[in-house]
Amino acid sequence: MTEPAGSAVVGDTPPTGERLHIPIHLRWGDLDAFNHVNNTSMLKLLEEARVRAFWRPGEGEHGPSTAVLNSGIDAGVLTLVARQEIEYLAPVPYQRHPLEVQLWFGKLGGSSVEVCYEVYNNAAFEERVLYARSTAVIVLVDAATGRPTRISPEMREAWEPYAGPSIVYAHR
pLDDT of residue 74: 63
Q: Which of 5, 4, 2, 1 is nearest to 116 (CA)?
A: 5
- Write the CA distances from 139 to 26, 80, 148, 157, integer angstroms: 27, 5, 7, 17
Residue-level pLDDT at 105: 96
d(CA 6, CA 4): 6
pTM of this structure:
0.85
Nearest to 19 by CA among 6, 2, 7: 2
Query: What architecture (CATH level 2) is domain 2-7+17-162?
Result: Roll (3.10)
Contact 106, 166 (CB under 8 A): yes
Where do the structural domains in the chain lie, given as residue ranges? 2-7+17-162
- For 124-140, how does the pLDDT look when each residue is reduced to its tens digit (9 = 90+)? 777 899 999 999 999 99
Single-letter amino acid code for the residue at 142: D
Residue numbers in the chain where pLDDT is lower than 70? 1-16, 72-74, 172
Q: What is the largest CA-CA distance in the chain?
A: 49
Distance CA 101, CA 62 (A): 18
Check: CB of residue 157 under 8 Å from CB of residue 163. no
